[in-house]
């Protein structure tokens, strides 16, 4: 029953006919009991220190224009966010422009999104380098993303992408961002337009703030000292 519901009248819900959606993760602090710690685990810390609380990891698929959570998976904290994000793609449909942050940069995310008939717009970590195969008039360029080792063993081939670089001035300091997408039409999806629309991804952060803080209405989000109660509360 949880599904996208935005119409063209919802501000920030569509871009050139593509429904804007985002995937990202968060975590919940849990009461520090042996049972919760055994099931959900603690976050990693520096040597000589220990985490104060066990945590549960939550990964969400959100419609940007309405803040509707259309799918979610939660797990013990040590399970990687990327694995859960990949599983959420089963709820992605054709006609969607899916956005994600640099922490979810992954060849498998690109391949799985395209397999669902959707498009993607994701931020790229600074450490990732791309070959500029073909420059476009708007300053972006065509490149490709190579398969990871596991995907390559299964016969996966590199996928053509478009890379967009731009800078934002924050407190007088320029910060460089890089995005990648499979939208190659520079007339319909100019680099400046995609750079501006990417920041709709922050609607997911607003959604997290709404349901973790304001809608919850209490100081301690999760109160249960037993894993079964934690699952129920989430």
pLDDT in tens, 36-87: 999 999 998 888 787 889 999 999 999 999 999 999 999 999 998 998 999 9
Q: Evaluate whether residue 125 is within a structural domain.
A: yes
pLDDT higher than threshold 90 for residue 104: yes
Q: Evaluate whether residue 223 is within a structural domain.
A: yes
Cα 29 from chain centroid (whole Å):
21
Q: Evaluate whether residue 2 is within a structural domain.
A: no
Q: Evaluate whether residue 13 is within a structural domain.
A: no
Return the number of other C-beta atoms located less than 10 Å from residue 79's C-beta: 15
Percent with pLDDT over 90 in the chain: 74
Distance CA 162, CA 145 (A): 10
Q: Are 115 and 95 in contact (CB under 8 A)?
A: no
Which residue in this structure is represented by tokens 């804007």?
20
Q: Evaluate whether residue 55 is within a structural domain.
A: yes
Backbone CA torsion sign across 128, 26, 45, 84 = negative
Taking all residues of the chain, what is their mean pLDDT, rounded to a whole number? 92
Q: Evaluate whether residue 5 is within a structural domain.
A: no
pLDDT at position 17 is 94
pLDDT at position 232 is 93
Q: Evaluate whether residue 27 is within a structural domain.
A: yes
* φ, ψ dihedrals at 86, nearest 5°: -60, -40
Domain that holds residue 109: 19-233
Torsion of CA 39, 42, 43, 45, to 10 degrees: -150
Q: Evaluate whether residue 60 is within a structural domain.
A: yes
Distance CA 114, CA 109 (A): 9
Which residue in this structure is represented by tokens 């109160």?
223
Return the number of other C-beta atoms located less than 10 Å from residue 149's C-beta: 8
Count structural domains, the chain: 1
């Amino acid at each position: 029953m949880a599904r996208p519901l935005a119409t063209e009248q919802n501000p920030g819900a569509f871009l050139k006919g593509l429904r804007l959606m985002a995937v990202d993760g968060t975590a919940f602090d849990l009461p520090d009991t042996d049972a919760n710690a055994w099931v959900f685990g603690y976050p990693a810390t520096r040597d000589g220190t220990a985490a104060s609380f066990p945590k549960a990891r939550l990964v969400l698929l959100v419609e940007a224009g309405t803040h509707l959570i259309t799918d979610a998976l939660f797990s013990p904290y040590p399970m990687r966010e990327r694995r859960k994000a990949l599983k959420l793609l089963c709820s992605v449909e054709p006609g969607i422009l899916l956005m994600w942050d640099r922490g979810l940069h992954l060849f498998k995310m690109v391949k799985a999104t395209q397999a669902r008939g959707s498009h993607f717009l994701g931020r790229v970590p600074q450490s990732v380098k791309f070959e500029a195969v073909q420059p476009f008039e708007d300053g972006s360029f065509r490149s490709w993303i190579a398969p990871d080792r596991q995907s390559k063993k299964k016969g996966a081939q590199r996928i053509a992408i478009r890379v967009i670089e731009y800078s934002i001035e924050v407190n007088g300091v320029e910060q460089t961002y890089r995005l990648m997408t499979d939208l190659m039409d520079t007339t319909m999806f100019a680099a400046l337009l995609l750079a501006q629309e990417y920041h709709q991804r922050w609607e997911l952060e607003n959604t997290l703030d709404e349901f973790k803080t304001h809608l919850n209405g209490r100081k301690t989000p999760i109160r249960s000292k037993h894993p079964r109660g934690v699952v129920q509360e989430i």
